Amino acid sequence: MRLERATAATLDEWLALRLELWPHESEAGLAEQARKLLGRESAAAVFLLRDDVGGAIAMAEATVRRDYVNGCSTSPVAFLEGLYVRPAWRRQGARGGSAAPSKPGAGNAAAANSPRTP
């Protein structure tokens, strides 16, 4: 498995994972949010986890939030916006850090449940 940062070139694969995680959201809306996240490089990070043949099997989205975050008394706060692992890959160590980051500074994130971007 290989962890990599999402880019405009991987938008379609990332969007497919977003649609699986948030099926009640519109594809156009999720695509717009994804493009906005890509534009916030200094305050957002998105990672894709790939299997051994290169298929995207998981994603994590994190942002730096300056608004109120439940349970936090300081700001800014790193906030995990979403984490998704395709069902066939769950319980196989994908989230737990079994994949090494492909670039310095890349890392794993934990769970959340909102596609909203500030």
Domain ranges in the chain? 2-89
**Beta strand residue intervals within 53-111, DSSP E:** 56-65, 77-85
Determine the residue type at 70: N
User: Which stretches within 1-118 are classed as H helix?
Assistant: 11-21, 27-38
Is 2-89 assigned to CATH 3.40.630.30? yes
In the predicted model, is pLDDT for residue 21 greater than 80? yes
Predicted pLDDT of residue 11 = 95
Beta-carbon count within 10 A of 64 CB:
15
**pTM, 2 dp:** 0.75
pLDDT digits (tens, 9 = 90+) for 27-58: 999 999 999 999 988 899 999 999 999 999 99
